[in-house]
Amino acid sequence: MTEPLIRNISDTALWVAMYRAWESDQKNPVFRDPYARRLAGKRGEEIMSTIKAAQRHAWSYTARTYNVDSFVMQEVENGADMVVDLAAGLDTRAYRMKLPSSLQWIEIDLPDLLSYKRDILANEKPVCRLERIPLDLANPAARRGIFEELGRAAKRAIIISEGLIVYLTAEEVCALARDLATPPSFQRWATDLVSPGLLKMLQKQIGKPLGQAGAPLKFAPEEGPAFFTKCGWTPIEVRSMLQAAAKLKRLPLLFRLFALFPDTKGTKPKQIWGGVVLLGKQSTAR
């Protein structure tokens, strides 16, 4: 039996690493990730070369990375002493960004993926205090214990999640959000979000291989960022991929006209929209 192109959800990390490798190869890259191509490996290259629709979305992944980078730097400058990187995958921010050496960077993901990453980066040195925690975030009791422990170790933490909540149901997202809202020091959360309109398009374009890998795309709330208000968090700032890509001069010609219109901040469910939302815990979102 032929092995599927994307075997499981962890393989999506190889795919995303290829986007970072592509951007790093540009003449004037938005960011430089010298580790991305090694991490993506041959399978990452194969996934990208085979799924033609995925190649058309490179600009949005560059914009997403840029938006999350910006929120991380903003919160570190505002006093965050810990970054909790949920479903960290092959993220290399702890290596490639200009971060304080005292910053605690916590990567949480499945054991096999973290082991693969550790082996590839064995001879590289992170710029801050990096810790990796093997954990299945689908286990509520286990994640609550880890969140409680991390919460005690931080004064002010920002959580980041990319390519995580889109694979969850609304109920699962809200449960995770409530767990993240419990530790007093967990004050900010930056996460990517898509509209129902964009979700429908992505399901048509790349949904089949993801579904076959047991990782169907699910979450795109009708309410947009306001969804999180019932789960312990308040939207503070919303940055669209389209607007960021236009600013960075990464938008394909076809999309440049759309970038001239005011951003709806994810409030129009039928619109094809994706962005990164900075959330504040409701007791601290002032």
**pLDDT by residue (tens digit) across 243-252?**
999 999 999 9
Give Cβ neighbours of residue 257 (< 8 Å, ≥ 6 apart). none
Is pLDDT of 212 > 60?
A: yes
| 182 is a domain residue | yes
* DSSP states of 99-142: --TT-EEEEEE-HHHHHHHHHHTTT---SSEEEEEE--TT-HHH
Place of tokens 């600009």: 59
Is pLDDT of 284 > 60?
A: no
Residue scoring higher pLDDT (54 or 92): 92
Longest CA–CA separation in the chain, Å: 56
> In the chain, pLDDT over 70 holds for what percent of residues?
99
Q: What is the CATH number of the domain that holds 129?
A: 3.40.50.150
| 17 is a domain residue | no
Residue scoring higher pLDDT (286 or 209): 209
| 7 is a domain residue | no
Residue-number span of the structural domain to which 153 is assigned: 56-281
Residue 152 confidence (pLDDT): 98
pLDDT category of residue 62 using cuts at 50, 70 and 90:
very high
**What is the rounded distance in angstroms from the CA atom of residue 47 to the CA atom of residue 43?**
6
Of 42, 96, 48, which is closest to residue 73 (Cα–Cα)?
A: 96
| 259 is a domain residue | yes
The per-residue pLDDT for range 17-45, each reduced to its tens digit, is 999 999 999 999 999 999 999 999 999 99
| 50 is a domain residue | no
DSSP 264: -
Of 194, 172, 171, 189, which is closest to residue 242 (Cα–Cα)?
A: 194
What mean pLDDT do residues 148-171 have? 98
Residue 281 confidence (pLDDT): 97
